[in-house]
Amino acid sequence: MTDRPHTTDIATLSAEERADDATTVFGFFAYLMSDFVLFAGLFATYAVFRGSTAGGPAGSALFNLPYVLTETLLLLTSSVTVGMALLAASSARCRAVLGWLGATAALGAAFVAMEAAEFARLVAAGQGPGRSGFLSAYFTLVGTHGLHVAIGLLWMIALIIVIARRGLARASLRKLALLALFWHFLDIVWIFIFTIVYLMGNL
C-alpha cells in the first residue's frame, strides 16, 4: 500500500468533532485513573502478603532476575517503538506506522509469552497461587498486568488492520494516541513491579 496524506488539522474540525475528541480523551483518562487505583490496591495487597510464605520459598528463591530483566527490556523497547509509530503518524507515513506497530506487537507478544512461561514453571514446581498468600498476591499483581498487556496487543492488532485498510484517518490517529498512552502506562506499572516485586524480592 502507499502512504496516504493526512490533511486533518485542528482548525478544520467542527465543534462537534472537537467535543467528541475531548469526551473520548476524558473518558480514557478516567479509565486510566481507575486502572491506577486497581494497581495501587494490588501493590498494597502484595506488600501485606509479601512475607506470608506459609513455610514455602520467598521471592529470592523463586525469581530468575536475568529472565525478568529480559522481559523488562522487551517491554521498555516496545515503549520506544510505539513512540516511533506516533512520530511516523505525525508525518503521515502510513507504512512506517504499520512497521513500528508491528514491532511493538512482536515485543509485547514476546513479553506475554515469557511471563506465561514463568507462571507455568512456578505452577509445575508446586508454587502456584494457592501455595501461599505471598504467591497468591504475586500471581494476581503480575497476572493482572500481563492481562492488560494482552488486551493492549489485541487493540494494537485491530488498529493495525484498520490502518492497513483505511490509512491514517482522524479516528485512527486518535486511537493510536490513546493506545500509546495506555502502553506507556503499562510500562510504568511494570517498572514498579520489577522494582518492588523482583529487585526488592531478591534482597
HSE value, Cβ hemisphere, 13 Å, CA-based, for 83: 9
* Residue 191 falls inside a structural domain: yes
Instruction: Choose among 203, 189, 191: nearest CA to 68.
Output: 191
Residue-number span of the structural domain to which 113 is assigned = 13-51+64-202
State the DSSP H helix or E strand holding residue 121, giving kind and residue range, or none if neither. Answer: helix 94-124
State the DSSP H helix or E strand holding residue 189, giving kind and residue range, or none if neither. Answer: helix 170-193
State the DSSP H helix or E strand holding residue 90, giving kind and residue range, or none if neither. Answer: helix 65-90
* Residue 3 falls inside a structural domain: no
Supply the pTM of this predicted model. Answer: 0.88
* Residue 56 falls inside a structural domain: no
* Residue 36 falls inside a structural domain: yes
Beta carbons within 8 Å of 21's beta carbon, 6+ residues apart: 13, 174
Q: Tally the domains of the chain.
A: 1
CATH at 85: 1.20.120.80
108 in Cβ contact with 174 (< 8 Å): no
Over the stretch 63-102, which tens digit does the pLDDT of each residue have? 999 999 999 999 999 999 999 999 999 999 999 999 999 9
State the DSSP H helix or E strand holding residue 162, giving kind and residue range, or none if neither. Answer: helix 133-166
**pLDDT class of 7 with cuts at 50, 70, 90:** very low
Altogether, the residues listed in the chain come to a count of 203
Q: How far, in Å, CA of 140 to CA of 69, rounded?
A: 20
* Residue 28 falls inside a structural domain: yes
Over the stretch 29-66, which tens digit does the pLDDT of each residue have? 999 999 999 999 999 999 999 999 998 989 989 999 99
